[in-house]
Structure 1
Amino acid sequence: MAQVLEFKLPDLGEGLTEAEIVRWLVEVGDVVAIDQPVVEVETAKAMVEVPCPYGGVVTARFGEEGTELPVGAPLLTVAVGAPEGASGPAASPASSSSPSSSSGSPSSSGKGSGSGAESSGGSGNVLVGYGTGAPAARRRRIRPDRLDRAVAEAPVSGAPVVEAQVVEAPVAEVLVAEAPVSDGPVPVVSPLVRRLARQHGIDLRRLAGSGPDGLILRADVDRAIRTAEETAAATARAAQAPAGSHAKPSTPSAPVAAAPNGVAAAGAERILLRGVRGAVADKLSRSRTEIPDATCWVDADATELMAVRAAMNAATGPSAGPKVSVLALLARICTAALARFPELNATVDTEAREIVRLPGVHLGFAAQTERGLVVPVVRDAHTRNAESIGAEIARLTELARTGKLSPAQLTGGTFTLNNYGVFGVDGSTPIINHPEAAMLGVGRIMPKPWVHQGELAVRQVVQLSLTFDHRVCDGGTAGGFLRYVADCVEQPAVLLRTL
């Protein structure tokens, strides 16, 4: 007897409650190994691959690419147990020699027989980054002609579950489900698709599946539901038309968005606020709603800072080290300024009505990527020098560009540095990265006329702006912080006092 295990979207940590399916890495009928990545999902924090803790044959996938699923929703089902005619270690996870099947579970350590998932070769490692590291097996697919019956329809629960639901079925019942009709099988394997069709009165026998081998997918049922609803609406409008009128048949048209003044805006495009864009929208809205922020700014002569940086990078010899960026120098200046003004390295506990001053500086920096704006965090920046901070910024920036930042690398910041000068703008009023208390914005550094030593000269000038939570400090503290940063930019020797 085979066991059909349901694998649900696991808790990805950091308070994430949903994820969008970006790309399926397996198809129905593929043989998967324990802890093999099966789907790539995008959360509000990062894009990650989700490994499946079970080994066997994929019998169903829940959700098409682009579908957003909540944590605890079914991702796929795996038939654990080799179908008749199948061979290979991946088809029989219980006998697999991978580290996942020989260790890491209570049953393998002699502490008991374990649950059904453990005894069937599941690793239990459903969290991203906690896989056993077993090499992924080559993708194999069981031929449909060897599988003549369906997996029994099992209830799908939306409640978060650690262990998958177990449904016993004959070994051969793993891929193609039969519809409860007498005139032949219906190519549907997903209980969710069957239930959705049943709820909306859709006859699956009349649908042409768009999946492999004519498999009926949820998208096919959704399309049929929309068609039925449009037909019903057209019929209702025709029935309500005045007698004698000759109304033209209604045809589906493109959705028309309503403009703010109530007038329909033809051709308007609607874009869902989800994923990274949705997370940014929520955080910025919450910042504006909860934080009484204020902004102060100052122009600073960065000529000396640029000269010092050029000298540092021009140094040769064993102690020269890697190049140091302007952003790394500004980050080091920020950590020195926060040591002098710890009020700004804080957060506010609104429920307790308390200001919480934080012991360490975890410095976030804004990075623009193809997926949107993200804020990677340099941990313990107060313990690093400019060279170390620069190396970490470069590493995190590369991960951000490739979409490989983990949720942990995008959370936990205590202060943010935003270099919007890379976009060619002089200034801005930053929005605080909730729940932090302040953000320093840096404009572009460019030649400008400047009074230097009593004479007009062309100098490298930058605008610095500080947005701060007025609950944690008053303008005197914020101004003192910004003035110290400007002094370090204008006279880098000031920073040497804190090194």
Structure 2
Amino acid sequence: MAIQKSTPAVDGVHAFKLPDVGEGLIEAELLTWYVKPGDEVKDGQMICEIETAKAVVELPCPYSGTVKELFAAEGETVEVGTVIITVDDGTGGSGGGTAEADTGAETEEREKPLVGYGEKAASTQRRPRRRPAATAPTPAAPAPRPAPTPEPAAPAAPVRSEGRPLAKPPVRKLAKDLGIDLATVSPTGKDGIITRDDVHAAVEAVRAPEVVPEAAPAVEAPVETDRSAREQRIPIKGVRKHTAAAMVNSAFTAPHVTEFLQVDVTRTMKAVARLRERPDFADVKVSPLLLVAKALLMAIRRHPGINSSWDEENQEIVVKNYVNLGIAAATERGLVVPNIKDAESQTLPELAASLKRLTETARAGKTGPADMSGGTITITNVGVFGVDAGTPIINPGEAAILAFGQIRDMPWVHKGELKIRKVTTLSLSFDHRLVDGELGSKVLRDIGTALEDPELTALAWG
């Protein structure tokens, strides 16, 4: 990954800003630093690992020298264009500049911010609103009657001018969940703010035993405990955030249609076993997914319209004469869909090697943005989770997605007799703007035919 050296040095200190490593990304989470202040670095050396909305990537340093300071902590989300590290190349003068000088904040030669992600303008302050002068009391108004002296009592919760007790939103929700009126709670927090402990103390007071008639048994009302202690909150960011936005956009933009087909894949499983014994497949993993991918590619060759996209701006359907085959992969950071470029031109051993590389890279969390861009059609293997079928959501920018269910023994009529066969369910979701029912059905039928007898299909279709 080439990083442009666009930030000038101040007293020999270079400020490295977080670049846009994808297409229009605005932020990234800094996962791991590989260096610390005082370390020597070289131009091109990997200095940190970041997670963008699309992938986990490593950033190379564009300077050589000594690490002066790190400006982002591990786990912190940083906006594109923000300085994350400074490097001293040893050519400066005293080197005693301030942090502002190091980051180029006070030099006229500083790097111009990226469009849309530059420095925020200084916040403006409103001019204080002029208060109206106090008016003299109306002579006819009766003098206020002095209030009776109250008996000593516990101090009440301070209130705002509109009469609301001072408490933060989570504390207000807690009080509401527990049925506590904040106006009855005595605050102990700073500046008279009601805390969680104050609410719990009020709950304990409510639970104090009450005097009841002897004829009625004393029943203690159940009090709900603080649910936050039994909940886990996971920040929505990185790959998961991008995936969620993409799926919502696809589901509410492309009209989805899903068709299902049960297929006898007994011969496919026998073919997989034979391929595993061949020398040209010795270094790769041969699985049923390989033959499903090959069957899809063969169906695309017969029906190119399934491998297309919708161009809203130009009001055109774009049929792709190449296949960038996406394989949905579940990772610790969420769902990613890397794709095999020009999969239609690969032989079966080459396709097996590409699948192996793709899945290993995805599981290691090292899939780069380039591997996840430009996909034309996708396969999702839900069978590995023991699932028979589903209605997958189309990857944005594509026309269809094929779900491949688990393979299991089922009773099946084979050659006029009831036998136990290996059966799977295929689910094809497609964009009804691009693909009508006839085309979608033909594609699904051809995939099923290829899996029922892969060797015969390969000979017939070439």
TM-score of the two chains, using structure 1 as the length reference: 0.65
Matched ranges for 1:186-197 at <5 A: none
* Cα distance change, pair 329–51 in 1 and its aligned pair in 2 (3 A): same
1:293 counterpart (251, 256, 259): 256
1:296 & 1:458 partners in 2: Cα distance?
25
Q: Does 1:355 align with 2:302?
A: no
SS at match of 2:357: helix
The letter for the 2-side match of 1:334 is L
Structure 1 residue corresponding to 2:16, chosen from 7, 28, 42:
7
Could you list the structure 1 runs, at least 4 aligned residues long, displaced by more than 6 angstroms after superposition: 155-158, 234-240, 318-321
Distance (Å, rounded) in 2 between the aligned partners of 1:484 and 1:334: 8
**Which residue of 35, 40, 47 maps to 2:49?**
40
Distance (Å, rounded) in 2 between the aligned partners of 1:416 and 1:246: 58
Task: Name the counterpart of 1:141.
Answer: none
Contact 1:6 1:164 in 2 (8 A): no
Aligned to 2:27: 18
Distance 1:411 1:39, change over 3 A: same
Structure 1 pair 241–60 and aligned structure 2 pair: CA distance change class (3 A): same
Report the 3-state secondary structure (helix = DSSP H, G, I; strand = E; otherwise coil) of the residue aligned with 2:248: helix
Q: Which residue of 2 aligns with 1:303?
A: 266
- Return closer, same or farther for 1:162/1:377 CA change in 2, 3 Å cut-off: farther
Q: In structure 2, what is the Cα distance between the partners aligned to 1:386 and 1:5?
A: 50
Q: Does 1:283 align with 2:246?
A: yes
Which blocks of at least 5 consecutive residues in structure 2 are unaligned?
1-9, 113-118, 126-156, 167-182, 200-223
Identity %: 41
1:249 lines up with 2:188 in the alignment: yes
Asked if residue 58 in structure 1 is aligned to residue 94 in structure 2, the reply is no
Q: Which has the larger radius of gyration?
A: 2
1:157: how far off? 8.3
- Shift of residue 284, structure 1, vs aligned partner: 0.5
| Structure 2 CA distance for partners of 1:246 and 1:149, relative to 1, 3 Å | same
* C-alpha distance in structure 2 between counterparts of 1:11 and 1:151, whole Å: 27
> What does the per-residue CA deviation read over 1:239-259, in whole Å, with 9 as the maximum and x for residues that have no partner?
9769x98823136559x9xxx
Give the 3 Å change call, closer, same or farther, for CA 496–17 of structure 1 in structure 2. Answer: farther
Q: Which amino acid aligns with 1:266?
A: R
Q: Distance in 2 between matches of 1:445 and 1:246?
A: 61
Residue by residue, what CA displacement relative to the aligned partner does 1:253-290 show, whole Å, maximum 9, x if unpaired?
Answer: 59x9xxxxxx9983144322211111110110111011
Q: Is this contact kept in 1: 2:12–2:91, CA < 8 A? A: no
Structure 2 distance, partners of 1:456, 1:19, is 57
Rate the CA distance shift 1:319–1:305 in 2: closer, same or farther, 3 A: closer
Separation in structure 2 between the aligned mates of residue 398 and residue 428 of structure 1, nearest angstrom: 25
Counterpart-to-counterpart distance in 1, 2:278 and 2:38: 60
Deviations 1:92-142 (A, max 9, x none): xxxxxxxxxxxxxxxxxxxxxxxxxxxxxxxxxxxxxxxxxxxxxxxxxxx
2:363 equivalent among 377, 391, 401? 401
Structure-2 change in CA distance of 1:301 and 1:27 (3 Å): same
SS in 2 for 1:433: coil
Partner SS for 2:12: strand
Could you list the runs of 5+ residues in structure 1 that have no partner in the other structure?
A: 85-146, 166-191, 200-233, 257-262
Matches within 5 A, 1:150-299: 150-151=97-98, 153-154=100-101, 164=111, 247-250=186-189, 253=196, 266-267=227-228, 268-299=231-262
Deviation at 1:29, TM superposition (A): 3.3
User: Following the alignment from structure 1 to structure 2, what is the Cα–Cα distance between the partners of residues 292 and 246?
Assistant: 53
CA contact (8 A) 1:23 1:39 kept: yes
- Secondary structure in 1 aligned to 2:252? helix
What TM-score comes out, normalization by structure 2 length? 0.70
CA–CA distance in structure 2, aligned partners of residues 27 and 64 of structure 1: 11
Q: Per-residue deviation at 1:432? A: 0.3
**How many residues are matched?**
362
CA RMSD of aligned residues (A): 3.5
- 2:333 counterpart of 1:371: yes
Q: Which residue pairs with 1:260 in the alignment? A: none
